[in-house]
Chain A
Amino acid sequence: MPIILQVSKLVKRFAKLTAVNDVSFEIHTGSCFGLLGPNGAGKTTTIELMEGIKTPDSGSILYNGEPLGQQFRNEAGIMFQNTALQEFVTVREMLVLYSRFYPRSADIDELVEQYSLQDFLHQDTRKISGGQKQRLLLAMALINLPKILFLDEPTTGLDPQSRRNLWERVRQVKAQGTTILLTTHYMEEAYELCDEIAIMDHGRIIAHDAPDALLAKHFDDVVVQIHEQDIPRQLGESEFNATYRNGNAHILTADVNQTVEKLLALEVPLNRLRIRARDLEDLFLELTGKELRA
């Protein structure tokens, strides 16, 4: 697949803080690229540099091989993490307003139908719910039929149903061939939507690949999870080298049968036992020594 966006040696400093530190990656046309990391990792600064909202101190960003310019502005759709909308304007008026900024525009009625905006189309933007606002912001980001769509933490603050609803919309956008750059601190979201991810911490990319490839590269074991009341800390740590967090003992093993047999032999109750594959949350913990949403 051709490269639509190329980021090279990007650096951005705010006073003494280096928010983005020598970041490089490429995004392929039609793919969904995820930037992962905890709050303060530098995701939003990176995406804002790529959107042309901020100017890098050094490094370059090329869109279809060219520096960001008018063509990029016309072909990029952007959904910020926190976007305030003009007040005293209805949802439809908002869409009409933004459609007039671009040389080509999506059919507003189609967008309204596609993103289920009918029920609140004539409401003041101040009076719509969080989920409705996110759907409107996504529709606004797609008003110019973008070739590349930037989504900065699009589901933060949404309830699980609204979040899954938005994922479905994003999948539809991707199915139409639009390239997507997504930042999130929800691992499940990244796993569900992204073809490729880059994990950021302290302004640097610390891992970069397809989600399954990253997991396969770093893990060949699974997690046996037992409630901490069922396996005393001393026993868990000495016999299984378990780590305790969130009320559970986490035992890493490449041989589940053998571990379960040993637990049975030690008369550990298995009623609350859970076996799960290692996920991106584990990967982040492994790479940085801290939890992603801490």
Chain B
Amino acid sequence: MWNRVYALFVARNTEFFRDRSALAWSVLMPVLIIIGFTYAFTEDNPEKFKVAMIAAVQSGGATDAFKTTRYIKFIEVDDIEANLRKIERHQIDLLFDANTHKYWINQTSPNGYIVEKLLIAAFADSGQTLQQNMVEGDEVRYIDWVIPGIIAMNIMWGALFGIGYVIVRYRKMGVLKRLHATPVTSVEFLTAQIFSRLWLLLVVNIPIYIGMDFFLDFRMDGSYFDLLLVFTLGCICLICCGLVVAARISSEEVANGLLNLFSWPMMFLSGVWFSLEGAHPLMQKFALILPLTHITAAAREIMIDGAGLTQISDHLLVLGLSSVVLLVVGAKIFRWE
């Protein structure tokens, strides 16, 4: 028995090492992930907390001491009203006016609580008085803020890997070749795949949404129809991404590498888990080309702000145009074998 196991082990290793593209991805992908994480979380960008600060007219004192606190990203702002909204949405953890020593936090923000303690500690011996303000209006809990992104991310995994792997496996097994021998065209095949995956994603994610709402009772201020439209368009866009990835390759290892290349940056740079407020401008611009950024943002606007289709039209436009472009590219480069 072990002879057979060993023979299969050697054969598989040989196949893997001779498949140079798969090998390249296996090496390149972890490197890219490491580089991405290194850039996002260390060296130039080590801050864990974000504080928006109205700059003091006169510098010095406890404010300067507070600003020396490590792991806090200080963002200079000049508009309190606009930034109160960001506190509501957990995009910043604390807003501090260095002139009046007033600060604003979101009562439900764990980061806000910690940064407040640091601020109070910095001012403890200064003799200056801080004035706490909670954000006004409806309370937005972290869970309300993060849920739209989690649903969007769940859709992303299902769309990218669901469609990509199936097509690559079909190609590898020869199922596509058999279909090619029928009157079925590539557009028909791809369309069927899109609808099939779209249907499956909606069928799976609607109960997930209902279940999460039952247990977490998260906020939903907008229209369910609008939300369904955003997720449907988002699904289509991400499925088309998967189609482009799977359009030509027949190696599951390469597919895995490419799909990870698409999904990992989206997972961390689309604002699902944390806001990109204060991140490097290039990173913020890069995030705008990621479909998940637009799905998450549009869903948040509907669920938290009760936004209508007009307010989220920019996101819908990006998702719609991206879907068309990706579908055309996918159909153009698709091959049966």
Contact = CB atoms under 8 A, between A and B. Distances in A.
- Chain A residues touching B, range: 10 to 19
Interface string B163-181: 0000000100111011011
Contacts of B126: none
A80 B178 contact: yes
A101 B182 contact: yes
Given A83-B177, A85-B178, A86-B170, 16 more contacts: A51-B181, A52-B181, A53-B180, A53-B337, A70-B183, A73-B182, A73-B183, A76-B181, A80-B174, A80-B178, A82-B174, A83-B178, A84-B175, A101-B183, A102-B182, A103-B183
A86 B184 contact: no
Contacts, number: 37
Interface in B178-195: 178, 180-184
A189 B301 CA distance: 70
A102 B181 CA distance: 11
Nearest to A72: B183
Overall SS of chain A's interface = loop
A84 B175 CA distance: 5
Contact of B175 (A51, A70, A85, A103): A85
A65 B207 CA distance: 57
A78 interface: yes
Contacts of B181: 51-53, 76, 78, 80
Nearest to B184: A101
A241 interface: no
Contact of A102 (B174, B175, B178, B183): B183
A74 B174 contact: no
A215 to B, nearest CB: 34
Contacts of A98: 182
Contacts of B170: 86
B192 to A, nearest CB: 11
Interface string B324-337: 00000000000011
Interface string A56-70: 000000000000001
Interface in A262-280: none
B185 to A, nearest CB: 9
Nearest to B173: A84
Contacts of B337: 53
B162 to A, nearest CB: 15
Contacts of A70: 183
A84 B183 contact: no
Contacts of A85: 175, 178
Interface in B133-189: 170, 173-175, 177-178, 180-184
Contacts of B175: 84-86
A73 B181 CA distance: 7
Interface string A82-105: 111110000000000010011100
Nearest to B179: A101
Contacts of A52: 181
The 10 closest A-B pairs by CB, nearest first: A84-B173, A78-B181, A101-B182, A73-B183, A84-B174, A83-B178, A84-B175, A101-B184, A74-B183, A101-B183
A73 B174 CA distance: 18
Contacts of B336: 53
A107 B9 CA distance: 47
Nearest to B172: A84
A73 to B, nearest CB: 4
Interface string A109-125: 00000000000000000
Contact of B177 (A73, A76, A80): A80
